[in-house]
Amino acid sequence: MSETKLMKRVVDGLEPGDRDYVVWDKEIAGFGVRVRTSGTKTYVFKYRYRNRQQWYSIGKHGTWTTDQARRKAGELNVLVLSGEDPASKKQADRKAMTVSELCDLYLEEGIAGKKAQTVEMDRIRIDTHVRPLIGFLKVPDVTRRDMQSLMTEIATPRPWLDPNVTRGSSADDGSAKDGATAPKKKRKTYSRTIGGKGVANRTIGMLGGIFSFAIDRELRQDNPVVGVKKFKEKRLNRRLKDEELQRLAAVLQHYEPIPGANPAVNAIRLLLLLGCRKAEILTLEWDDVHLESGLIHLRDSKSGERHVQMNSMAKDVLRGIHRVPDNPHVIPGNKEGQHFIALQKSWERIRKEAGIPDVRIHDLRHTYASIAADMGFSLQAIGKLLGHKKASSTERYAHLADAPLKHATETVSATIAGRMSGQISPLAQTAA
């Protein structure tokens, strides 16, 4: 153990060793930073209460600045001098923490490394489903049964609680739920009740991470999500047939009186020709499109930074797009400097006219992968084209690779049948 004045540059420079160690501040007694072998650095405060040594974990370096931790250590020292036990008080506060407060703490300190889009989705699920349904529960009191009930509640339709429908004793349209306790004044209800099995599964998955965070913070001993049975979801594997692709092409051409001027049409064509995710195309900037080398640089895709190989048809689409001055995006929006955000609305209109009302935007990516599988490309190659990190992500297309297998089995069986009838193949003759 060493002693120095703790400052940001000092703490930043501390390297992990073969074992955990603490560097103490020479100005505030008991204030230090613990460096784990993993490299994690945590500010701590050590003191004595009723002749017993106590440790108080202030917080991780990065979440807490050195100055903030120093001020906190000073406040803790004042509590100790006044006869209080900060660690016991912290334990009591934690026991009183609600699920809603845990979610606040998680969104503040537990989202490091998550992408902004994922964090925003977590925030929506928390506000829409978790807070209204179980936010009032104490963190240590949450059970697996609570989690199972939460899933059922989210998955069960409640049409009378639709946030777009008002409720109250004066409603007479049949959509309101009347009763003795119904308020006289109409009001809109929570949107928490509008979910489904898929939403329930993903919300419970998110809560599994939040309660793991709670265990790390010693707010509870176990994870109530473990063992919860999720709903079976029907995997959507819709792909466009050849005649559907032809109808879609005709509609896209109809919506493009001036070639390259319609952002929705440009986006749909690039999604089909490159197999990219919707966000990857909509947020794409011209600085990351390199027509000469034939590469698109995706700085922050779902699977991390990657490069997309451009084909000649995608290059033609990109060359024909009308660029908007002072807007860096390939698919520009109506607002200055922003990307296009109305693709879903445009797609609903286009797919209806093309006679494919059940096709989602993501099915364009699935169509790209399916055709690649039909042509005999390996799942590994398809995974690289799609930017999958894990092979399991590409395995959903395994059933689509049957065409090459059928061709292979026909060829082998024909050869065997020929040899059984005494006919020797040209290859066998050569080998002999």
Q: Are residues 310 and 278 in the same domain?
A: yes
Q: Is 420 within a domain?
A: no
Evaluate whether residue 237 is within a structural domain: no
Domain boundary among 198, 216, 234: 216
Domain endpoint, select from 54, 87, 120: 87
10: in domain: yes
Say if residues 14 and 23 touch (Cβ distance below 8 Å). Answer: yes
Same domain for 251 and 399, yes or no, is yes
Beta bridge pairs of residue 125: none
Does pLDDT of 224 surpass 60? yes
**pLDDT score at 118:** 85
Query: d(Cα 130, Cα 149) in Å, to the nearest integer?
Result: 12
Task: Report the percent of the chain where pLDDT is more than 70.
Answer: 78
Q: Cα(150)–Cα(136) distance, rounded to whole angstroms?
A: 13
Q: Looking at residues 74-81, what average pLDDT do you find? A: 91
Residue 423 domain-assigned (yes or no): no
When pLDDT is cut at 50, 70 and 90, the band that residue 187 belongs to is very low
Residue whose C-alpha is closest to residue 101's, from 2, 214, 242, 222: 214
Q: Do 79 and 111 share a structural domain?
A: no
pLDDT at 35 over 90: yes
In a shared domain, residues 201 and 295: no
81 in any annotated domain: yes
Q: What percent of the chain has pLDDT over 90?
A: 47
Q: Would you place residue 191 in the very low, low, confident or very high pLDDT band (cuts 50, 70, 90)?
A: very low
- Give the three-state DSSP class for 22: strand
Determine the pLDDT at residue 332.
94
The CATH number of the domain where 364 resides is what? Answer: 1.10.443.10
Q: Alpha-carbon distance 20 to 94, whole Å?
A: 26
Q: Taking residues 150-163, what's their average pLDDT? A: 70
Q: Could you list the residue range(s) of the whole structural domain that residue 45 is in? A: 2-87
Q: How many structural domains compose the chain?
A: 3
Q: Do residues 60 and 189 both lie within one domain?
A: no
pLDDT tens digits for 86-109? 888 777 766 678 999 999 999 988
Q: How far apart are CA 202 and CA 151, in angstroms?
A: 10
pTM over 0.85, yes/no: no
pLDDT over 90 at 213, yes or no: yes
Average pLDDT, whole number, for the chain? 81
322 plus 364 within the same structural domain? yes
pLDDT at 188 over 50: no
Binning pLDDT at 50, 70 and 90, where does residue 179 land?
very low
Mean pLDDT of 73-85: 91
So what's the pLDDT on residue 429? 45
pLDDT at position 176 is 35
CATH number at residue 53: 3.30.160.390
Residues 127 and 22 in one domain: no
Query: What confidence tens digit (pLDDT) does each residue in 365-422 have?
Result: 888 888 877 777 776 777 777 777 665 556 665 555 555 555 555 565 565 566 556 6
- pLDDT at residue 156 in the model: 83
- The pLDDT of residue 113 is above 50: yes
Contact of 49 with 85, CB cutoff 8 Å: yes
d(CA 330, CA 289): 9
The H-assigned helical ranges of 66-189 are: 66-81, 86-95, 99-109, 116-125, 131-134, 144-155
59 and 146 belong to one structural domain: no
Cα dihedral: 120, 122, 128, 134 (round 10)? -150
Same domain, 206 and 309: no
Q: Which pLDDT does position 183 carry in this prediction?
A: 39
- Do 257 and 124 lie in one domain? The reply is no
Q: Is residue 152 part of a domain?
A: yes
pLDDT tens-place string over residues 325-348: 999 999 999 898 999 999 999 999
Tokens, residue 28: 């505030």
- Distance CA(175)–CA(179), nearest Å, equals 13
One-letter amino acid for residue 110 of the chain: G
| 294 in the same domain as 207 | no
Residues 276 and 374 in one domain: yes
The reply to whether 358 falls in a domain is yes
Task: Supply the pLDDT for residue 23.
Answer: 95
The answer to the question of residue 321 being in a domain is yes
